[in-house]
Amino acid sequence: MKILVISDVHANLEALQALPKEFDRLWVLGDLVNYGPDPSAAVRYAREHGGIVVRGNHDHAVAFGEDPQCSARFRNMAEETCRYTRSVLNAEELRYLQNLPVTAKDTIDGGDFLLCHAVPSSPLYEYRKEDSELWAEDPTPSSGVLLVGHTHLPFRRTVAGKTIVNPGSVGQPKHGRAEACYAVIQDGRISLEAVPYRVEDTIGKLRRLPLSASVFDDLAFVLKNGRVPPSSAAGR
């Protein structure tokens, strides 16, 4: 049994196309859409491959027209791309996002897995770093594996008897490299992986979207550099 675990796709088709093609199950930890140029393709990928998909804060924002509660540095990027995303998704795709659960559970080969976008106590919004002491206090089972996304930073740690894994971001990584990040669960092992993708193709698509120059520059910076744009960048 090989499970591909991904998060924070953010409508990046080129990054999705670089992922492994051979797997038995797909688990998606939210944020299929927003920030990127191909939201319909991202939704279609999740639907075609089945498996478990939970809702992220940007899926929720697009589906219900609500604030994604992202950081101030990304607010303009989120607002402009959300307008674009809502204009191109059809009614069925929006309903799909609306109906996604905010948490999910599964048992594989005797191991228990809990999936959510952020953290179990705040599945859509709380931004919790790897070294946070709150992981030990989180009201999750004392054993098993907790799979989370949201921070766009891959990590694996064990605390209070449970293993916490963040696969990082497929479509908007912030770990310092232009790579699509993901995790693989196979034969009782969990590995964190990453693969380069055609980032310039994604940026070329963004250039053709109805975005302000400052928002385009910021989005391109994140994709090229794998990190948050400096505060002095255009659009700040």
Q: How far is CA 227 from CA 59, 126, 174, 177, 218, in A?
A: 22, 19, 4, 8, 10
pLDDT for residue 44:
98
Distance CA 178, CA 160 (A): 33
91-98 and 39-49 helices cross at what angle (nearest 10)?
60
Residue 147 pLDDT: 97
- In three-state secondary structure terms, 192 is strand
Only one residue has tokens 């990453």, namely: 194
191 touches 22 (CB < 8 A): no
The neighbouring-strand residues paired with 46 are none
Amino acid 141: pLDDT: 63
Delineate the domains of the chain, giving CATH numbers in brackets.
2-225 (3.60.21.10)
Q: What is the reported pLDDT for 32?
A: 98
Q: What is the pLDDT of residue 209?
A: 97
pTM of structure: 0.95
3-state class (DSSP) for residue 111: strand
Residue 179: partners with Cβ closer than 8 Å, 6 or more residues away: 173, 194, 195, 196, 197, 226
- In this predicted structure, what is the pLDDT of residue 140? 67
What pLDDT score does 119 carry? 96
Q: Rounded CA gap, 159 and 20, in Å? A: 30
Helical segments of the chain, H only: 13-17, 39-49, 57-64, 75-88, 91-98, 199-207, 213-225
Across the 236 residues of the chain, what is the mean pLDDT of every consecutive 10-residue run?
97 98 97 98 95 97 97 96 98 98 92 95 96 85 87 95 95 97 95 98 98 97 96 45
pLDDT given for residue 50 in this prediction = 77
